[in-house]
Structure 1
Amino acid sequence: MFENLLSLLGQVKTYQTPLPEADAQHAMGALLVRAAKADQKILFEEIQIIDQVLAQRFDLNPIEAAKMRASCEKLEAEMPDTVEMTGIIKDAISATEKEATLSALWAVVYADGIKHVEEDELLHQIEAVLGISSKRAKELQIAARG
């Protein structure tokens, strides 16, 4: 009987979703995921913020936002270069949207209540690629901290 169970488990196939297109929306979502993972762990609070940002930014319901986040998680894992990911959105969004994106990234980083050096470094790298001045980026960071 035990052998039958093992043979059944060995036949289980995993379902793989295709990699989403690296468009501006998915690249932004992937950056949100990368910000959440910068401290080597992703917490429920960070996932909630990511889903809220995606829902608000792209007019999605909660289930659609969660599905998009899952696609963005896959894209984030496949795109190791943060500069390349940020570059995808750089030319596709306005200056106001760039600032909103940076604010959303800071909100994700602060969701766990702890500021980590890795998160700080990542977001400063992203702000530079987006072309947001250090002064304005600091203002957005302070506002996101609340």
Structure 2
Amino acid sequence: MFADFLKRLTDPQPEQLHDDDARLALTALLVRVARADGVYDAAEAQRIDRITTARYGLSPEAAQDLRAQAEELESQAPDTVRFTRAIKDAVPYDHRIAVIEALWLVVLADHDRDAREDALLRLVSNLLGVSDVDSAMARQRVEDKE
């Protein structure tokens, strides 16, 4: 189902993602980070639903459907490096900072910062071209809200 989408996403010269494709790719990245510690629980899934509901103005049902599609895409997606690089090429910098904030919201959903999640988030931030300072500030903004 996602073979063509993944091919386009990981093309050496990816084209700008359409809104629906960008939503799916970014939600799949949220799922990837949530699964990084080997435990993908209801709190993380619900947090992803809340993020997509708020970010994209979706109904709860549409957010759950998007997450289900993203879970499938994430399981088929290539390594994090190529997947994230494709998102970087398709999403403006200020939106990538918002993505980092959303990723931190997912990591902190279970109130347990796992070293694997932290490591993946550092890698993803770097691959998205988000500076260490901006990533740290994004984490701090999220922690202040928690």
> What's 2:61 paired with?
63
TM-score (norm 2): 0.82
Q: Superposed, which structure 2 residues align to 1:1-146 within 5 Å?
A: 18-19=1-2, 21-22=5-6, 23-146=21-144
- 1:91 match: secondary structure: helix
- Contiguous gaps of at least 5 residues in structure 2: 7-20
The separation in 2 between residues aligned to 1:86 and 1:57, in whole angstroms, is: 19
3-state SS of the aligned residue for 2:110? coil
Q: Is the 8 A contact 1:28 1:86 kept in 2?
A: no
1:92 CA drift (Å): 1.9
Aligned partners of 1:102 and 1:137 also within 8 Å: yes
In structure 1, runs of 5+ residues without a counterpart are 1-17
Please report how far the alpha carbon of residue 46 of structure 1 lies from its aligned counterpart in structure 2 after TM superposition. 0.8
Q: Deviation of residue 59 (structure 1)?
A: 2.2
Is residue 45–residue 112 contact of structure 1 (8 Å, CA) maintained in 2?
Answer: yes
Displacement of 1:29 in angstroms is 0.7
Superposed CA RMSD in Å reads 1.4
User: In structure 2, what residue type is equivalent to 1:36?
Assistant: A
Structure 1 residue 27: Cα displacement: 1.4
Identical counterparts, % of pairs: 37
| Matching residue of 2:15 | none
Alpha-carbon distance between aligned partners in 1 of 2:86 and 2:61, rounded to the nearest angstrom: 25
